[in-house]
Structure 1
Amino acid sequence: MNPHQKELIKATIPILRASGEDLTNYFYKRMFTHHPELRNMFNMGNQANGRQKSALANAVLAYAENIDDPSVLIGVLKGIGTKHRSLNIQPDQYKIVGTQLIASIGEVVGEAATPEILDAWTVAFYQLAQIMIDIEKEMYQENSAKPGSWNGWRKFVIKKIVEESTEIKSFYLYPEDGKEITNYHPGQFISVQVYVPELELLQPRQYSLSSAFNPEYYRISVKRESGIAPNPSGYVSNTLHSKSEGDLISISAPAGLFHLEKDTPNPLVLISGGVGLTPMLSMLETNLNNIQNKKTIWIHGCRNESVHAFKNQITTLKEEAKHLETFTFYDTLENENDSQSEIIQGRVDLHKCKDSILLDQAKYYICGPEIFIKTQYEALVNLNVSQENIFYEEFGPQLINLN
């Protein structure tokens, strides 16, 4: 881009701040009208609740604000890229998005979107698209080089379903072709693709792998999501909960930047809310042997005992690993006679366990709903934990940026 074009992009920043979500709302409607086939690739639940539109509006604004040096966004772009790789996004699809986005800018902004501004945004978009294509090309190549890995979708058989709580089921997924499957870092996810009858569409979703790697299968643990306005019922989670052993689903190879490195030497503090415990469980199981000689803290919060998944497994792991310490928070106690020594009533409050979690050079991992992540992140910062040692995973479109 030339300097004049960059200045034109910067001139649109006030418009993006004021009307960014109107633009992205229009963009998605326009794109799905012209390319209805793309509805099979996008999360229509996040389209309905507005999260995808907000995430795109934030991304477009951030790009405009950093047009002089887009490299400062590389961490965010890699996060988007790893999800795109898991969804098998291809370069030609950027052309579709670019055409629809530039047309939307012209139609929504109106006369203020001069030909010169539209030309500048066209150059800006394709500059960004090329950055993403290059990032994703490298990811596809790295993924192809892994033993047992694949790009795109691969059929797996649901061989076992286990009820972990009143609303979470685990699915044990075995490759239909019986061939090797690839290893993964604890904390990573797979994309799942199923046909949703209510929508008459294929729908992809990302689910964290919830166990240490087993060369025979992948395990995901899925919460059945109930619809509360403005969020529709979880299309894919409810579809999965209606599946039976023996059914087939399509999945992509493991992906994700939120994970432990192999044999990390640092103490670990794993903080989860609700179904956010799934990547933490993979981390805990994978590092079980290391726990024998380094401190690991498990902190989990949920509404009550009936929705508390894997509680017996955590108890067993605690008995096996003397350096594992656990804290469990329930919003409410279902039985006032429950043992209080293991349960803390109320929402997760890190100040109540600060004497255990403030460990030298510890790494802190947080996973759960958006407000949960923000609350625990702020608590750690208030306890003087360095931000560079705090990592978090937000399910769905990225709407928070704390580091």
Structure 2
Amino acid sequence: MDTSLTTESDALRNGVHILTTTLLVVAIFTVVSMPMSSAVSTLMLLSTFAIIYFGGWNFLERWTLGPKILWLVVLTVTWFAAMLIAPAAMYLLFSLMFLYLFVVDDWRGILMVGFATALSIGVQIPNDITFGGAMGPLVSAVVVVAIYYAFSALAEMTRELKETQAQLAESERNAGVIAERQRIAHEIHDTLAQGLSSIQMLLHAADRDLDTHNEDKARERIALARTTASDNLHEARAMIAALQPTALAETSLAGALERMTANFAATAGIDIDVDVEGDAAQLPMKIEAALLRIAQGAVGNVVKHSGATKARVTVTYDENEVRVDIVDNGRGFDPAAVEARPAGLGHIGLSAMHRRAEELGGTVTLESTPGSGAAVSVSVPLV
């Protein structure tokens, strides 16, 4: 195992520290009943063991494998010497076993555990070793190895789980970035792109008016183009500041729709009416903004693609939902064919409409046949 101070290695290190301290205290208490000379020798050996043990931990991370093994050898020799005088020092075998596996996490660590086990059994032979005296170290070795590798497996599972969680978080972040890019693309299409298209049409029309010497009409169209540019500038600033649509900040949904349709009507030279049915109510800003954007995209399509002379936008307030219908008398189209086309330039508006409605639990319905106009209906639940 890597001895860097990871969370897992810290936990194991602290556990070994507590175990070693406890065993040292137990061994020291057994000195009370020993002869003075043996007691002093045992205390000196146990103190030396403690100094070498705790002192070595301070340098363990900076040592290469050679100094680490030397440190383990010195600890083992000190422990063996203490065990020859005070049998209670044998308890420190538990700490040494964990140290061997922690420092040398391979077959060599297990070999060291086996060697220390053999020493603890061999030292008892001159005193008529018992069955329990032999089985104790053997069982301890098996238990320590099992605990250590179970802990290592758990630590590896924890590490893999953290990596998986980090990967999932990164995937969610990337998905959020993509969704935000799509949202911004829809915002730009429904506001800035529509506004710039209107300005372009107005300036072309003003250019034609100047060719026919109709300067008053040309000035009127240029003034409207300036107003549209000003509105677009406000929209851009609101978008950058993550604010609600500028039109909604200044008026109600119906008022924002009237202002939006007035600009389109003046640009394209068609009649666009706005009606309100039911009891108008102040809706959550997220719903009003989505409905305004969807209507803006639909009216923009009417102006650019339908060839209509009249259109109507109707806002219907019901108890459980709000609905916006955009109807025109243009040339119509085949909804199935249009929705089957991949989203792209000129088609992103329909994709944006569906996405905005779905985010609010609503739906967008297209009804049209070639030569018979078109109707776009968006409904959003209020619950």
Say yes or no: TM over 0.5: no
More helix by share: 2
More strand by share: 1
TM-score range, shorter chain: under 0.3
Structure 1 length-normalised TM: 0.19
